[in-house]
Structure 1
Amino acid sequence: MKAKNTAYWSRIIGIALPIVINNLISQLQMLIDKIFLGRLTLECMSAVGNASGPIWTTMSTIFSMTLGGTILISQAIGANDQKRARDIMASVFKYNNILSLFWFVFWILGARSVFRMMGVDDSVIDMSVNYARFLAPIFFITGINASVSSMLQVSEKTKILAIYGIVRSGANIVLDYLLIFGKFGLPRMEVSGAALATTLADYIGGVVILIYIVCAKNLIVKPKLFEIIKAKGSNYIGAVKVGIPAALEEFAWNFGNLFLIVMLNRVSAVAAGIYAIIFSVELLPVVIFNGLGQATLTLSGQEDGRGNRKDVRKLVSISFIWSIMIAALILICFIAFPSTIMNMFTTDQSVITASTIYLIIVGIDLFPKSANIIIGSGIRGFGDTMWMLKTQIFGTFFVITASAIMVVVLHMGMLEIFWLVVVDETLRSLLNLWKLRKETKASQCSEKLQLNES
């Protein structure tokens, strides 16, 4: 038992650490990207903001479908059904690329119509359209990258993702500087340059991944080219059925978050601005928790495939211990260095002073938030993405209703809204914990019954 727990510890870290490094580097690259764009006009920032949101939302559909595939592949590996795992992987490769082609055509031909429907101002819509068209070719590599990431994750060979992140983000920063500002004789492309830099950097990173995949001999679910070409749509439909609730879950969370911003704008523009800054600070630990969550999902799926659900609770507990330690460390940093942290995002001293209490509240919120990410990953490992959608719909309804009453009826302010977020995360974490305990307990009872019958 002790040896198994030790193995879980090492396997979780082995999968999660490279993913975390890759994601942290990506966050740093996006921060530098914002700094470069911030040196242009406000109209340029507005154009990118209007374009990037809907583009990344459509891109997330590819990752949601891939999540469904990852769960099913993990379960097949756990059941020692390598052929089924490889068949599903092949279908993910094939149909992710078809979906990517659809989104490429959509944004090349329909960008202006989308931005018109969004009400983007005429003064920036041309820049938004150019940004979308220069970024659209990224979809060709996105389907491949998402599929490869899934293959590496279920094969527990994620170290290359850290190298990929360093190469891609490094290339993006250099290309941003060259193309946005027109350095070394290159044309000054501004907003279009930012999009082109991101696209080229993804292709450069993709070459690194491709070389690794071609040379690697120990990827247990690597499909051959003819297997990808002949892959059946039925396998991808299975992934879609599991992936769609995950996509809707993310949409529901984003909708609730958007409504909170609307309510905070009713309080004051400063309140909405502080929320945006605090949200940016919170992204760092959330990236770490997501890495642990991806490892938990992969290993939970394998245990579920083996018919060994009782050990999923052990996996979740180990990942949650890691997340609690990280959350505690970050909360201590928030309490000890609030001004230093806020100075990274704003120079307005009044905002920095006012934000201290909210930074601490967000630090407290990291505990139930990490619980939702880790426990939710364990539940998704069962293939039950619908449960996570249901709890998120509950949370979104709760946040919308409560925040509307608090701000519109009771005329409460920003402090109460921040505590509302903590309450929402806590309620959902308790619901998810109940679900996990119920599923693993039912598995234990079933095993005991089978043992008694034998």
Structure 2
Amino acid sequence: MMNKDFKRQLKEIALPVTIQCLMQSSLSLIDQIMIGSLGSESIAGIGLAGKFTSLYSVTLAAVVTVAGILIAQYRGAKDDKGVSDSFFFPFYFALILTAFFSVLSLCAPESIMGIYSNDASTIEKAAVYLKWRSAEYLPSAVTLFVSTMLRNMNRAKLPAAAGVAAIISNTVLNWLLIFGIGIFPRMEAAGAALATSLSRCLEMAIVLVLFIKEKKAQDVYLKPALHFSKEFIKKAVEILVPILIGEFLWSLGENMYAVIYGHLGTEPCAAMTLMYPIQGIAIGALCGISSAAGIITGNSLGANDEEKAWSQALDFVRLTVISGIAIGVIVCALSPFYVKLFNVAPETRVVTVKILIAFALVFTAKVFNMVVGGGVLQSGGQTKFMTAVNIIGTWGFGVPLGFISAYVFRLPIWWVYFILSLEEYVRLVISVWLLHSRKWMRNVTVKEQEE
């Protein structure tokens, strides 16, 4: 049974983060519903462009995860300088990452989208969408870092409030810019991308204002630094490099999946794209638990309380499995009604329902890997092992199985998706073994001092 302190922490951290994640996922759903009236090519184009932007988002999230791991442990150790350095060192790296992806998206969108599809019309729509979406890269980076800091300050509700404002503005701007209402030009897919980018800018502004006020209220030490101790750099890099490589390769694998879907045809690709918002919302419903897992167990490890961290880890396992099964059942039940929201061919709707059922069957494994693998196990800095797990799952199983099922056996897209997604169960088995071994329990702040 979960104790009262654990439930309180879970409520304070997980609930607001979940709301924020759901809000962010809803931005994609709103785009899809409104773009859905423009036809399958527009839907497929947005889906493929979204896969490339996700390569940036996932890589950025990996850097933010490292910041969260370090901040949580240094706060547990009550080391203010360590907390400040844990914020700025990864943030500087994120700025370099942002500049790199911005240049690619602005200068070579057609070439990038040509990798994902051989349909000229789909490529054109995807390239336009990608170019406009690149404007959200920087505000997204700032928002994620500041939100991570606020969660560690026990103010997770504040980023959630900013997320509510973002989804409202995105909905209104989508309507105005996609369809050209009033004085606004009809921009279609480009309008959806611009609306999302402007909403991210608004979200960043709100989060920054709230953070500045909270920083003063709590008298938090957070000072930009250009020089870091060798010990800190060594520790940060030791955690950052494995998780960065692992998450980048995992996301690259997801993009390879998109390449497979994109070359199966516009309609199958459109069906997969219709699945993505539901996937985002379903995963978003548990992303708060993943964030809480890293912070709560990280605090316990930073305070040298391994037994408490172990008890918390088991609570997260139980919560994740029960929630994963429940959400999977809900997705299956609602999928026939969801597909009716889009102006697509009846065949595309049928295929989308089958893909959603396949998604529901692997969903519990997906969120287990997110919460336990990405939250609990990495709270002790166990990033090298998790990098190996992600690489083995995605590139050792997922990508090969995807190509074989699509191009050797020529299976329908829902079977292709289900078979390549079985790699989630490979990662789950390995993660369970590591969890049970307790080798993930490590206080990185103590280890640094000993070195």
Which TM class, normalised by the smaller chain length? 0.7 to 0.9
Give the equivalent residue in structure 2 for 1:328: 325
Aligned mate of 1:78, from 76, 79, 83: 76
Answer yes or no: is 1:304 the counterpart of 2:306.
no
Amino acid at match of 2:158: I
1:222: how far off? 4.4
Give the secondary-structure state (helix, strand or coil) at the position aligned to 2:381.
coil
Tell me which moved more, 349-358 or 98-107. 349-358
Answer yes or no: is 1:433 the counterpart of 2:432.
yes
Identity %: 22
Amino acid at match of 2:369: N
Give the equivalent residue in structure 2 for 1:204: 202
Superposition pairs of residues 261-410 of structure 1, within 5 angstroms:
277-278=274-275, 280-334=277-331, 336-344=333-341, 359-376=356-373, 377-396=375-394, 397-402=396-401
Which whole-Å CA distance do the structure 2 matches of 1:111 and 1:270 have between them?
22
Aligned mate of 2:228, from 202, 227, 232: 232
- In structure 2, stretches of 5+ residues that fail to align are 443-451
Which whole-Å CA distance do the structure 1 matches of 2:259 and 2:115 have between them?
19
Give the secondary-structure state (helix, strand or coil) at the position aligned to 2:280.
helix
Which whole-Å CA distance do the structure 1 matches of 2:82 and 2:293 have between them?
21
Which whole-Å CA distance do the structure 2 matches of 1:110 and 1:14 have between them?
43
Give the equivalent residue in structure 2 for 1:60: 58
Which whole-Å CA distance do the structure 2 matches of 1:386 and 1:287 have between them?
25
Q: Residues 123 and 350 from structure 1, CA distance in 2 versus in 1: closer, same or farther, beyond 3 angstroms?
A: closer
What is the TM-score of this pair, normalised by structure 1? 0.80
Which whole-Å CA distance do the structure 1 matches of 2:20 and 2:315 have between them?
22
Answer yes or no: is 1:143 the counterpart of 2:136.
no
Give the secondary-structure state (helix, strand or coil) at the position aligned to 1:228.
coil
1:334–1:363 contact (8 Å) kept in structure 2: yes
2:116–2:259 contact (8 Å) kept in structure 1: no
Give the equivalent residue in structure 2 for 1:32: 30
1:209: how far off? 1.1
Which whole-Å CA distance do the structure 2 matches of 1:403 and 1:119 have between them?
16
Superposition pairs of residues 232-251 of structure 1, within 5 angstroms:
232=228, 238-251=235-248
Which whole-Å CA distance do the structure 2 matches of 1:95 and 1:418 have between them?
34
Which whole-Å CA distance do the structure 1 matches of 2:120 and 2:334 have between them?
43
Which whole-Å CA distance do the structure 2 matches of 1:41 and 1:341 have between them?
16
Q: What's the CA shift string for 1:332-358, capped at 9, x where partnerless?
A: 434555533444467765666677676
Q: Residues 132 and 368 from structure 1, CA distance in 2 versus in 1: closer, same or farther, beyond 3 angstroms?
A: closer
1:263–1:403 contact (8 Å) kept in structure 2: yes
1:151–1:219 contact (8 Å) kept in structure 2: no
Q: Residues 147 and 254 from structure 1, CA distance in 2 versus in 1: closer, same or farther, beyond 3 angstroms?
A: closer
Give the secondary-structure state (helix, strand or coil) at the position aligned to 2:181.
coil
Superposition pairs of residues 99-114 of structure 1, within 5 angstroms:
99-111=97-109, 114=112
Tell me which moved more, 279-288 or 406-415. 406-415
Q: Residues 162 and 391 from structure 1, CA distance in 2 versus in 1: closer, same or farther, beyond 3 angstroms?
A: same
Aligned mate of 2:94, from 93, 96, 100: 96
Question: Aligned residues, how many?
Answer: 439
Q: Residues 231 and 142 from structure 1, CA distance in 2 versus in 1: closer, same or farther, beyond 3 angstroms?
A: farther
What is the TM-score of this pair, normalised by structure 2? 0.81
Tell me which moved more, 283-292 or 95-104. 95-104
Amino acid at match of 1:71: I
1:301–1:383 contact (8 Å) kept in structure 2: no
Amino acid at match of 1:232: F
Amino acid at match of 1:398: F
Q: Residues 245 and 86 from structure 1, CA distance in 2 versus in 1: closer, same or farther, beyond 3 angstroms?
A: same
Give the equivalent residue in structure 1 for 2:449: none
Which whole-Å CA distance do the structure 2 matches of 1:222 and 1:8 have between them?
24
1:6: how far off? 1.9
Q: What's the CA shift string for 1:398-440, capped at 9, x where partnerless?
A: 2344455666666766676566457533332121111012126
Q: Residues 111 and 341 from structure 1, CA distance in 2 versus in 1: closer, same or farther, beyond 3 angstroms?
A: closer
Q: Residues 393 and 12 from structure 1, CA distance in 2 versus in 1: closer, same or farther, beyond 3 angstroms?
A: same
2:139–2:200 contact (8 Å) kept in structure 1: yes
1:48–1:128 contact (8 Å) kept in structure 2: yes
Which whole-Å CA distance do the structure 2 matches of 1:423 and 1:102 have between them?
32
1:382: how far off? 1.0
- In structure 1, stretches of 5+ residues that fail to align are 444-454
Tell me which moved more, 408-417 or 280-289. 408-417
CA RMSD of aligned residues (A): 3.8
Q: Residues 355 and 228 from structure 1, CA distance in 2 versus in 1: closer, same or farther, beyond 3 angstroms?
A: closer
1:233: how far off? 8.7
